[in-house]
Structure 1
Amino acid sequence: MAGSDVLSQSEIDDLLSALSTGVVSAEEIKTEQRQRKIKIYDFKRPDKFSKDQIRTIYMLHENFARLINTYLSAHLRTIVHVDVASVDQLTYEEFIRSLPNPSVISIFQMRPLKGNAILEINPNIILALIDRLFGGPGLSPAKPRPLTDIEEVIVRRVINKALESMQEAWKQVFVIEPRLDAIETNPQFTQIVPPNDMVVLVTLQAKIGQAEGFISICIPYLMLEPIMSKLTTTFWVASSMAKQSSPEMMSVLQRKLEKTRIPAIVELGQVSITVQELLNLAVGDVLQLNSRTNDDLSVIIGTREKFKCKPGVSGNRTAVQITQIISQGDDNDE
Structure 2
Amino acid sequence: MGDVLSQAEVENLLNSLDGDPAAPAPTLTAPKAAPSFAGMPASPQRAREKVTPYDFKRPERVGKDQMRALQTMHEGFGRNYGAALSALLRTIVEVKLTSVDQLTYSEFIFSLENPTCFNLINAAPLEGQLILDINPSLLFPIIDRLLGGGSDSSPPARRPLTEIELLLVGRITSLFLNEMKQAWENVIELDLSVERVESNPQLVQIVPPNEVVVLISFELTLGEIRGMVNLCIPFNSIERIGQELSANSWVTYSSKPATPEAINNLGLQVQSAAVEVVVELADTNISTADFIGLRVGDIIATEKDVREPLSVLVEGRRKFEATAGAFKGRKAIQVVGAAADPRRDAQQHASKPPEEGAA
Write out per-residue CA displacement over residues 128-156 of structure 1, whole angstroms, 9 at most, x where no aligned residue.
11010010114374143221111111111
The match for 2:161 is: 147
Residues 305 and 168 (structure 1 numbering): CA distance in 2 closer, same or farther, change over 3 Å? closer
One-letter identity of the residue aligned with 1:55? R
The match for 2:216 among 202, 220, 227 is: 202
Counterpart contact for 1:132–1:139, Cα < 8 Å: no
Is contact 1:139-1:211 (8 Å) kept? no
Q: Does 1:217 align with 2:234?
A: no
Instruction: Please tell me whether the aligned partners of residues 116 and 201 of structure 2 are also in contact (alpha carbons under 8 angstroms).
Output: yes
Deviation at 1:303, TM superposition (A): 11
Q: 1:57 aligns with which of 55, 61, 70?
A: 70
Contact 1:68 1:162 (8 Å CA) reproduced: yes
C-alpha separation in 1, matches of 2:231 and 2:150: 27
1:158-307 counterparts in 2 under 5 A?
158-232=172-246, 234-237=248-251, 240=252, 253=258, 257=262, 259-260=264-265
Q: Using the alignment, how far apart are the partners of 2:266 and 2:51 within structure 1?
A: 67
Instruction: Pick closer, same or farther for the CA change 1:216–1:254 going to 2, 3 Å.
Output: closer
Which of the two has greater helix per residue?
1
TM-score normalised by length of structure 1: 0.63
Output the CA distance in 1 between the equivalents of 2:146 and 2:56.
47
1:73 aligns with 2:86: yes
Change (3 A) 1:67 1:253: closer
2:91 is equivalent to residue 92 of structure 1: no
In the alignment, is the contact (CA less than 8 A) between 1:124 and 1:140 conserved in 2? no
C-alpha change, 1:302 and 1:261, in structure 2 (3 Å) is closer
Tell me if the contact between 1:127 and 1:140 (Cα under 8 Å) persists in the aligned partners.
no
Counterpart Cα distance in 2 of 1:71 and 1:194: 35
Segments of 5+ residues of structure 1 without an aligned counterpart are 1-29, 264-300, 308-334
SS in 2 for 1:117: strand
- Equivalent position amino acid for 1:220 in 2: P
Q: Distance in 2 between matches of 1:140 and 1:52?
A: 43
Letter of the structure 2 residue corresponding to residue 168 of structure 1: Q
Counterpart contact for 2:186–2:249, Cα < 8 Å: no
1:178-232 CA-to-partner distances (Å, cap 9, x unmatched) read: 1111111111112111111000000101111221110000000000111011112
In the aligned structure 2, how far is the partner of 1:171 from the partner of 1:261?
26
In percent, how many aligned pairs have the same letter?
A: 38
Is the CA contact 1:129–1:138 (under 8 Å) kept in the aligned structure 2?
Answer: no
Q: Secondary structure at the match of 1:231?
A: helix
Matches of 2:113 and 2:136, distance apart in 1: 8
Where does 1:18-29 land on structure 2 (aligned, <5 Å)? none
CA RMSD of aligned residues (A): 3.1
Partner secondary structure for residue 34 of structure 1:
coil
C-alpha change, 1:305 and 1:200, in structure 2 (3 Å) is closer
Q: Please tell me whether the aligned partners of residues 138 and 208 of structure 1 are also in contact (alpha carbons under 8 angstroms).
A: no
For 2:54 and 2:229, locate their aligned partners in 1 and report how far apart those are by CA, in whole Å. Answer: 29
Question: Residue 150 and residue 34 in structure 1: after superposition, are their counterparts in 2 closer, same or farther (change >3 A)?
Answer: same
User: Given the superposition, is the C-alpha separation of residues 39 and 166 from structure 1 closer, same or farther in structure 2, using an over 3 Å criterion?
Assistant: same
**CA contact 2:184–2:250 (8 Å) conserved in 1:** no
Letter in 1 for 2:171: R
SS state at 1:196 partner: coil
In 2, the alpha carbon distance for the partners of 1:192 and 1:185 equals 15
Q: 1:110 aligned to 2:118?
A: no
What is the DSSP-based 3-state SS (H/G/I as helix, E as strand, rest coil) of the residue aligned with 2:241?
Answer: helix
2:333 aligned partner? none
Tell whether the 8 Å contact from 2:133 to 2:229 is kept in structure 1 after alignment: yes
Q: Which moved more, 1:138-147 or 1:176-185?
A: 138-147
- Asked whether the 8 Å contact 2:122–2:130 carries over to 1, the reply is yes
- For residues 58 and 44 of structure 1, the distance between their equivalents in structure 2, rounded to whole angstroms, comes to 23
What's the CA shift for 1:65? Answer: 0.7
Distance in 1, matches of 2:90 and 2:57, equals 46
Q: Is the 8 A contact 2:216 2:230 kept in 1?
A: yes
Distance of aligned partners of 1:138 and 1:305 in 2 relative to their CA distance in 1, 3 Å threshold: same
Letter of the 2:189 counterpart? V
User: What count of residue pairs does the alignment treat as equivalent?
Assistant: 233
- Whether the 8 Å contact between 1:128 and 1:140 is mirrored in structure 2 is no
In the aligned structure 1, how far is the partner of 2:89 from the partner of 2:238?
33
Which deviates further from its counterpart, 30-39 or 172-181?
30-39
In structure 2, relative to structure 1, the CA distance for the partners of 1:254 and 1:163 (3 Å cut) is closer
